[in-house]
Structure 1
């Protein structure tokens, strides 16, 4: 997949992705796992619903999605004061979308 950067929005405990980003990296995926091993947020697709994770909820008819995970963001120092757009890219080695929080 392309490492072309995309934009992800974080606001109010939610991670917002456009339909284009979801179609490119998470087509057919209904849930994701969020990790924060360093300053980045790692978004991993969950291929089987029974595996758990956070739901990719549809926001509108255009297919934009939100991952609502306030407890994740708060526990990793990204409380309600984090509100903005962040660069993200696909990392083939991690098989995940990496959101740069700097």
Structure 2
């Protein structure tokens, strides 16, 4: 039921749920819009049997005109529904496919375009500072991995905090971010601005630690 109330006033809603149709575990289904128009009745419904279609039906009843009309549902065939069971490999693969689809179709268009060549700044304390546009376009989850390769520092976006790595912290209301990379730098003194470029093949930001931009003029 909480899902129904969280839908209030949203422009778009994407629901991801498990399915038990007998298909191979990890199979992904996208529910056709016609099925969303024919939802089950709410009479006699118990909270323990509340499914995605009940959530939509309840939202339409409870929210009225505030219920979104643009709703997409992805269902992933489950392999095991035992309490506390981990995701199986095929179901995890299905989840990954849905995440990539949602990222490409729903999140990516909302983000500002990221420039290929940018500038970042290191503080004397070992903080790496990114402006808000760079952080939003390239590191939307605020979770990153930092890897030193020769004279370059690579900043790799992760899916979220559960993936481990480092967290970008918001520095100001504008949305600029910073992350402590002092240990990754292994004692290098790199305070000041540095040139960086986005590598599409590596899907990572490459920061040149060698010569500062102003020294090249």
TM-score with structure 1 length normalisation?
Answer: 0.86
More helix by share: 2
Counterpart of 1:59 in structure 2 is 171
Residue 23 of structure 1, CA deviation = 1.5
* Alpha-carbon shift at residue 3 of structure 1 (Å): 6.1
State the alpha-carbon separation in 2 of the partners of residues 21 and 88 from structure 1. 11
Shift, 1:26, TM fit: 1.2
5+ residue gaps, structure 1: none
8 Å Cα contact 1:9-1:83 kept in structure 2: yes
Alignment match, 1:88: 196
Partner Cα separation in structure 1 for residue 176 and residue 115 of structure 2:
20
1:17-96 to 2 correspondences below 5 Å? 17-27=130-140, 29-73=141-185, 75=186, 77-78=187-188, 81-96=189-204
Deviation at 1:72, TM superposition (A): 1.6
Cα RMSD over matched residues?
A: 1.6
Are 1:3 and 1:91, in contact at CA under 8 Å, matched by a contact in 2?
A: no
How many residue pairs get matched? 97
Q: Could you say what secondary structure the match of 2:150 adopts?
A: coil
8 Å Cα contact 1:18-1:64 kept in structure 2: yes
Q: Max radius of gyration: which structure?
A: 2
For 1:3 and 1:21, how far apart are their aligned partners in 2? 8
* 4+ residue segments displaced more than 2 Å: 1-4
